[in-house]
Structure 1
Amino acid sequence: MTTQQIVLTRSETKGSPMRITELVKVLSTIKGDLANITAPPSFLAPSSVVENPRCWAERPAVFAAPALESSPQKRSLLVLRMFLIGLRNQYYIAGGPNVSIKKPLNAFLGELFFAKYTDKAGIASTEVAAEQVSHHPPITAIHVASREHGIRAEGYSRVEMTFSGSLNVRQTGHAVLHIDKYDEDHLLPLPTAQVRGFLSTCLYPELWGTYKIVSSSGYISEITFSGAGFLRGKKNYFEARIFHKDDDREKPLYVASGSWSKGWEVKDGVTGKIIKQYDVEAEENDPEPMQIADVKDQDPWESRRAWNDVIQGVRGSDWMTVSRAKHIVEEGQRQMRRDEKASGVSWQPFLFESIPGEEHSVFHRLAEGINWHLSASETKGVWRLKDGALDGLQTPFRGALTPIG
């Protein structure tokens, strides 16, 4: 899930060598964290990073499926499936593996995103709410839920980017998926990524490392991302195994492998028989249409309205409009920070609140014994939705105050 990620658009199948060189020059001159650095306009995607959490909500039937399964081990398999399916749109927004990826707009402090999805088969609907709760460092908090099925995910991510020949994207944070019917929690990771392909002029993401999805039922999904190296490997490759924490991990119940951006298969861990295949490109796996309010009806703090001129400029390759419209928003935000400093008033998030890391009992219970640290000091605590925050929302959310002052 994510949050601030590199994304792509359908408008280009290959990156221009000159533009790639331009980007490399920009990245090479900057030391330290690049997360809040603005990319050249031609490398921007027509969406903000605050939209990224919709990758889990776009297929309501997939998101709600664990709540409809009575077997705890099969629920863990369905949670793994949801996690894997979300990766494609999380890292390849509005495109595919043969399209050079682009960078989303840096979300401004207080930026909001709301959307709903309805499954055409009538199985489920989902809603997503996200807020940029910090700008320095950049932290996005998210809430995704299928209310009718009693399943929801809440999480947050701080993103750090560095450049060393490839663009390294490190996420600090996690998400917790809760299923009311079984009072069951699943702790989900946020993988580290590298943006590669600078020499080929077609940039693409690779995930690296080994991560675990941990369930309060005792089942663990262990996922190893390897991807394509310089001499071997397959692009976006992963292997995953599901086992109970009290059993031998070398004798998993299920094994999944393949490309998270193209397709994979699930095998019975005992018999080796293929029990499920997933093709990302299959028509039945297309995301459902996003339901959001018309831009003119949105609150000034909602992402699509706040960045409307920028988004239209990116879509039309009107880079002067992009630069001018971005400057208006960004300068408005700088002035708000100066005003807050002068008045001694600190910014307060609208939907989410931060709690001390030691109070996050679900995380500590599930992460015990698997070498997973909370790092709350790096994320300004643990972020969660305020009680009743989504009930009866009325605009304007912040009175006369808008993102440009």
Structure 2
Amino acid sequence: MDNMGNEQVTERSIDYNAVLTPPLSLGSGSDVEYRAPNILQRILSLLKNVRPGSDLTRFQAMQLPPLFNLPKSQLQCFGESVYCVGDDMFRKCTDGKTALDRFVAVVGWSISTTRPAIFGVAPYNPILGETHHVSRDTLNVLLEQVSHHPPVTALHATDEQKNIKLIGCHNSIPKFNGTSVEVVVHGKWQLKLLNFDENYVISSPKLSIRFFPVPSAEWVGNITIRCNETDLEAELCYRGPSFLGFRGSNRSVKGKIFDSTTSKTLFVIDGHWDRTVQVRDVRNGKTTVIYEAKKTITRLKTPVVKDPKELWPSESAVVWGELTQDILRKDWEKARGSKKAVEERERVLRKERECRNDTWIPNHFSLSYTKEEGWTCSPKQKWVPSAPIVAPF
């Protein structure tokens, strides 16, 4: 057990300075604000010595300079997809009168977790033991970086009022393919509607970053959503722009909801995750809008610190606070020093653990790995406590 790391995570006695930035949302202007100059040439210069098919997580040289960073951690981006919303579709998953109504609501919520990616910039790679703890009304969300090599992020979100739980364990693997980078998100969401004893297992799309002929960063690929208790299942396909950049199918979502015991299609899904998505009931032809991006992921408000004295030193907004301020000021020389300081502290802690033959044990999750299931995380607490950081409505 790494006592030093765990003491850092649990101690709350200092008034820490946390720097929070606007969440990624549609129409926020963030893609302009954070875009670095001459970004394509700079990215290609970083990749010039990397062979196609390479796993980029294994290359120390791929540590991005601050010019390429969004001013926030990957933990914050992951968490924002749950707690930063305009229309609270998460809590609405329990409102359906029938199992089919609730399943359709879960499909709509899963689409709402898709957020725009920005070509050429990426969030900070979380350090081992880094946490992110935020509340939004009665929803409390806690994330922890439970492994650094490979990078594994765990999420636990609970709403005691609605009796909902969400568990996520994600391991993102970027691979260089010559003219593109494909980021495969291994792992799954587990959404539990406890009042109905229904458990939903949800996979994630891939992030495709293309350099030619038109630079882009889009979510693509197939995902599944299933509920074993009701035998309902959904298959969705995310699509980006065509090879030449034509945007006819860009950000489209198509699929179906069906009974897995009979393979009978119940609803057809069609739309765009950055606009609207609707389902058509094959029994009567009725069409219903299940997701509106304008209501859900536009004009999102920045979380605020309610009580600085309750912040953990491992909080993302604290760990990367100085670097975030430097990036927002565009002070790139100072930003390089701030980033190096965080990375150097991480290296020192890792060497100290190695000298003591200590194995890192996550503070808030139990972590396991099997060839069949991959990485899985189990929360150590039944309910996530309220947080010192609050996401406003």
Coarse TM-score class (shorter-chain normalised): 0.7 to 0.9
CA 126–248 in structure 1, closer or farther in 2 if over 3 Å, else same: same
Note if 1:239 corresponds to 2:254.
yes
Give 1:266 deviation, angstroms: 2.2
The answer as to whether partners of 2:65 and 2:336 remain within 8 angstroms in 1 is no
CA 311–296 in structure 1, closer or farther in 2 if over 3 Å, else same: farther
1:217-366 → structure 2 map (5 Å cutoff): 217-230=230-243, 233-249=248-264, 252-276=265-289, 278-282=291-295, 287=300, 290-293=303-306, 298-355=311-368, 357=370
Give 1:259 deviation, angstroms: 1.5
The answer as to whether partners of 1:227 and 1:237 remain within 8 angstroms in 2 is yes
Give 1:314 deviation, angstroms: 1.5
Note if 1:44 corresponds to 2:66.
no
C-alpha distance in 1, partners of 2:133/2:44? 34
CA 85–196 in structure 1, closer or farther in 2 if over 3 Å, else same: same
CA 161–392 in structure 1, closer or farther in 2 if over 3 Å, else same: closer
Return 5+ residue gaps in structure 2 as ranges: 1-23, 389-393
Q: 1:279-302 CA distances to partner (integer Å, 9 max, x unpaired)?
A: 312489654653544557522111
So what's the TM-score if we normalise by structure 1? 0.79
Q: For 1:12, which of 20, 32, 42 is the aligned residue?
A: 32
C-alpha distance in 2, partners of 1:200/1:294? 45
Task: Give the structure 2 partner of residue 57 of structure 1.
Answer: 83
CA 336–236 in structure 1, closer or farther in 2 if over 3 Å, else same: same
Q: Which secondary structure state, in structure 2, belongs to the residue aligned with residue 12 of structure 1? A: helix
Aligned AA (2:380):
K
The answer as to whether partners of 1:54 and 1:128 remain within 8 angstroms in 2 is no
Task: Give the structure 2 partner of residue 177 of structure 1.
Answer: 191
C-alpha distance in 1, partners of 2:362/2:55? 23
Relative contact order, higher structure (CA 8 A, sep 6+): 2
The answer as to whether partners of 1:50 and 1:130 remain within 8 angstroms in 2 is yes
Note if 1:162 corresponds to 2:175.
yes
Give 1:388 deviation, angstroms: 5.0
Task: Give the structure 2 partner of residue 22 of structure 1.
Answer: 42
Moved more, 285-294 or 23-32: 285-294
Aligned AA (1:109):
L
Give 1:127 deviation, angstroms: 1.4
The answer as to whether partners of 1:43 and 1:103 remain within 8 angstroms in 2 is yes
C-alpha distance in 2, partners of 1:263/1:204? 20
C-alpha distance in 2, partners of 1:77/1:339? 50
Return 5+ residue gaps in structure 1 as ranges: 1-6, 93-98, 119-124, 358-372, 395-405
Task: Give the structure 2 partner of residue 87 of structure 1.
Answer: 114
CA 247–126 in structure 1, closer or farther in 2 if over 3 Å, else same: same
So what's the TM-score if we normalise by structure 2? 0.81
Aligned AA (1:324):
G
C-alpha distance in 2, partners of 1:311/1:235? 31
Q: Which secondary structure state, in structure 2, belongs to the residue aligned with residue 157 of structure 1? A: strand
The answer as to whether partners of 1:155 and 1:384 remain within 8 angstroms in 2 is no
C-alpha distance in 2, partners of 1:56/1:171? 17
RMSD: 2.8
CA 84–342 in structure 1, closer or farther in 2 if over 3 Å, else same: same
Aligned AA (1:266):
V
Task: Give the structure 2 partner of residue 108 of structure 1.
Answer: 127
Q: For 1:212, which of 211, 224, 235 is the aligned residue?
A: 224
C-alpha distance in 2, partners of 1:246/1:224? 21
